[in-house]
Every structure is written in structure tokens, then in C-alpha cells.
Structure 1
Amino acid sequence: MDASDARHRAVIDAAWADFGDDRSIVSMDELSAMVSTNRVYRLSLDDDTSLIAKSSNYGSFFLFAEDHDRLHRTNELLRGGPFGGFMANALVVDGRPFLYYDGEMWVVFYEEVEMRDRLPKILSAGQVSRLGSEIGRFHRACSGVARMIPPPSKTAKSDAVNLFEMLGSRNARDHFGLDRSRLDLVRRHTHRFLLAIHESGYDYWPKMPVLVDWNLGNFSVQTAPDDPDSFELYSRWDYDWFRIESRLLDFYFLSRVSSRTGDRSVFTYGSHTLLEPRFRWFLRAYHEVFPLTEDEVWFLAEAYRFFLLNYVVREGRHFFRYEFWQHLLHDAVDVQLPALESLDLTPLVRELF
């Protein structure tokens, strides 16, 4: 057990004691993907039940708490509908998610959701279309409750404004580990994203709960016994990138799940999955359930740009372990952002409109 692991386990023990449950922790088994800086553990309790604990010390506890308040509110509002049991619930005290904070680290406990079937690494054509329909249904349900969820403290615009200012600061080179030419390139792309936000009227577009990071390791489905292409979304866990934003932020990861190479663990975030015929199948099925506008489809390029700028460049050092972040950072800056100049989403627009 390294010092970091010991620190996370200690804060989880303290959090459980503060929660005040009569049950004792019998064992604590790590489930962390070993990519993120978070630590995730399964807690086996003395009554033969189990819970999931997540501990963290990056970013802001207060934004973490806000996200879990919004997640809890979303779950409460979805209750009774087709997705009432889809997302894992945090343990609550007095109707609010229980969060432990020692001034340096924080912990949340989740009920352990039942996992059913996992989709294969490479989906069939029928599974791609079915996934599009199911995500359309889920987005439609989230959109239906969005007006009853308080607005967030941070937005895609505020994150981009913050990044733009950081890139122009005196210590930008040391903070990002990029030379001046690369900093200038990232700043140009950040400026372009902010212009797109302004020119599109994005502030007035509908916002709703989005989970952003969709991969085959964080959701399960219920498959029909006689048809592997027919399934329903069954359970979802892992909310590191939850936010209240446009539904478009979900689509890049969904294009990766739909792609001909499948949901791989190779860490590169190229745009090619947005242009594959398979993603057009996904979008067509989604559009039939919860129609997109033409402006939204064109804006998918900007949603992808925001993903690279925010989750790789701005926050990557916190979301990913250092070696993964360095690889992703230089891939994003040297390859993926420059390639955006030639990204043409005309085939997607023609597919739907």
C-alpha cells in the first residue's frame, strides 16, 4: 500500500465514522481505473452488503458538492419514470447527499448499482442504432426535468474564459508545460470556441444534466434474451464529468463507443469517430427519438473542441495520472486541435436534414 492509497483509505474510514452508520467496514477493495487521480473502493460491510466510496483531493470541494446536489436532484426528479433507477444514488443525510470534507480531501458514498450486461467492445450495426435510441430517451427524460434543477456555478463559457486568461498569464508556460507557440495555438482555439458560443446564441440553448464521459466501463444494459441488438439502458455509475450543459457534450464519447474500432483503452482523442458512418447511424436513431436542430449538429465540432481544451488542456493534470496527461496533452495540442481546421460535419447534417 503506497502513501497515497493509505491516505485515501484513512479519509474513507473517517468519513464512514462521521456518517454514523452502525455497520462496520469489513474490507475495502480498490476499483480505481488507475487513470484518474480519484480513488474508488468497494466497501464490504458486516451485514453482507456493500457500498462504493470515492475519495478525491483535486479541484474544488464546493463544486464537487454542487455537482452531487444536482445529481441527487436529477435522480429524485427521474424517479418513477423509465430511468428512475438508472443512475447510482449517493447516500443521503436529511435529504441531501452526505459528503465528508477534512479541509484537504473529500468523500462520497454511493449505493452499489446492479450491473447487467456489458455491450461488446465493437457494437453491431443494430446495437449502434439501439444505443442512439436509448440515449435519445435518456436525454429526453433529463431535458424534461432540467428546469427544476438549479443552474450551475460554472459553464462551458466560464471554463473557456478561465482557460483563455490562464493561457495569457506570465506563468502559463510553467503551468501547462507548453512552449509559447503551443500556448498561442491553444489560446487561438479557445478564442475560436468563445466566438462560436457568442455567435451561435449558445447561452439561450436548452441545458440539462449531462454525464459527458460515456464508455463501456461505466454503464450496463438489459439485453433482450432472444435479440442481442435489442437492449435498454440499465445502470450507470461514475460521474466525474457531470455538469448542467448542452446535450452536445455527451456526443463525442458516444461516437467513440459507436466507432468501428470500438471503445478502446488507447488514450487518444481523435475526431475521426465523429465522421464514421456508424456515428451517423447513431445520430439517425437518436434524432428519431429526440430531434436535434441543424445548428446543434454543426456545433458538435465546437463541443469536441471544448472537450480537448477543457478536459485535456485545462483540467487534464487533475483528471488523469501524470503520464497519461502528458501523452494526451501533446496529442491534443500537436495533432487533434490542428486537425480541427479540416473537420467537416457536412455528412452528419446531410444525414439528418
Structure 2
Amino acid sequence: MIKNITGIFFMFLILSCTGKSSASPAEKKQLPARVENLSVPSGFDNQYAQNIKSGKPVHFTKPMLRIMNFTIPARFTEAINDKTFKMDDILKSDLASTGRYIILGTEDDIMAAIKEQNKIGYDEFKDDGSVTMGELKIAGYTLTGSIAESYPIVNQIGGHFSLKVAVSASITITNVNTGVIEFTKTIKSEKEELLFVSADGVIIKGPRNLTDKPINSINATGKDIDLGPQYRDALRNSVADIIAVIEERFPLMGEVIAINDNSVITTISLEHGIKEVDYLFIVRLGDELKDSSGKTLGFNKQVIGASQVTSVENGMSNSKIVKLKDTSLGIVKGDIVISMPSGYAN
């Protein structure tokens, strides 16, 4: 009897271990859609790729951006109770913190500098896409925009209120050298909180930021709640999305310099502004693509796979392979890598 019980006990342990083992694939981290589909970001620099392919030295220069004044409607500054609010200051600070760009002054800064120097005329083009105006450096790209919409969506749902605000921000990126609008996009973000109120008007759960109206006057118009903090949160979400869009528009590029088991070492480094958890797409260059005059326009490209950055240091970074299109191809030294921020991968 004891032997039978012991045998059953060990059989139970074996089945338990087997069950844990078979469940592990289900626990595998799901990749963002664009990584899973190997959708390479726009902004591939064919000139950079050509220099790599031909063995020419490659010098990394950060794009130079100037954040111009954003148009802010009065209804938004009233909603957040701050008539001095400047979105361009927030964007300038957050973009600078990425480490990926050289951020120059705003429109007010440049006009003051031009007035002081009293000189107009483009003197010299730079490698980073910028130009100089006298002694003043002008960004290669300008970013303009506005808060296009901002409105509350407040509804009573049974015994509680849904407090939602929506903020839409539009951005335009212009090439200063050519005057061409290279990119424009409108980004909408929402922020929702729930407000639970008792029959006698006491807040049970939810935001406490009330107007000067009595609590028992709350209704579905939203006028009884100061939604300023929600507007600010929605705007912060829009700013984060704008930065992700810009990072996708101006991706980092490098090359594979070593492969160790499931890891890839590339030349994209701390100086570039790459962050841990950002994704890298590995691309292999094929034949040159030329027009009828013989000018090289680009290359046939074969997407090999994707990796996720695990560590960053001066001169290089290490990333873990997370997706291979065809395991028979493998990743080789000299393959081109192009970045996609983790926040934009979905």
C-alpha cells in the first residue's frame, strides 16, 4: 500500500513538472505588432547605407531641430487654468531628454538673435542639415504645430460618471534647406477617470478637483469637475506620441559588428541616444537601384529580423534577437540596423 502511494506521489510530481514545462511557450512575451510583422520604419538613409556598403567612413551627426511656437487655443488654456502655458517648451525639453537631437531655440529665440546680429543671408550648409545665418546656426528641420481640438466627454453611466477629455495635437516637420514639408500628422489622446458619488453628493471614489460649485450639483455636463489635470494628462500622452513619431521619422542607423549566440552587437551607441528596450531591425542590402541616368537611388533590401536593445555603452550597444524572418539566413557582420522606439512599435 505504501509503495503504491509513493508511486502515485512521484507520478504526480512528474506530471506537475511536465505541465509547467509545456506551459512555458504560452508565457513567452508577445512582441509589438510592427516587430512581429517586421515592418521597418520609414526614414531609411540610403546614403548612409551606401557608405557602409562601399567601406567609406561614416560619421554620425544628430538631426538639428528647432521647435517653433505652437498655436494654443484659448479654450485649452482656460481648461487647464494656465494662460501662460507653452507647448513648445514641453516639446523642447522632452525631445532634448531623448539624447537623439540637437535642439535649438524657439521662434522667439531666433527672431531675437536675428535682430541682434542684423544680418540676413544663408552662408553655409552643414553636414547635420543645418545652415548658418551670420553667426547664428539655423536648424535643418523646424517643427510647428497646434492643439487642434480639446473637449470634454462626460457621461453618467448607472451610478457613476465617466470623465473623459480628448486632446488632438497636429505637427508639421519642414526641411529648412528646401522649404519642403516632409511630414505632417495629427495625434489624438484621451484621458478617462471614473467618479463615484453617493446619493447625498459625497464623492466615494474619483478625482477631487472640483469647481466652486456644490458637490451635490454634479451632473452629466462636466461643469462641476475641474478637468484641468485630465487635460494635462491627455496632452502629455499626445506629447509622448509626437516624440515617438519623430523618432520613427528620424531613425538611428548603424551596422552589425558581431554576433554572439542570440545577441547582436551594433554601432548604434550611447552617443546616438538609443535606449534599452528600443527595437532594431536588421536589414541586408542587395543590388543598387538606379534611375535611367544611372544615379543610385537606393538598394534592394531584405529584412532579416529584429532585436531588442539590452545594454548601451560608448561606441556600441548589445541587443537580443527577438524575431527572425528566416532562420536559415541568419544575421551576419555588416548587416544594417535601423531603430524603432519601443513606444512606437505597436
TM-score using structure 2 length: 0.22
User: Highest Rg: 1 or 2?
Assistant: 2
Higher share of residues assigned strand = 2
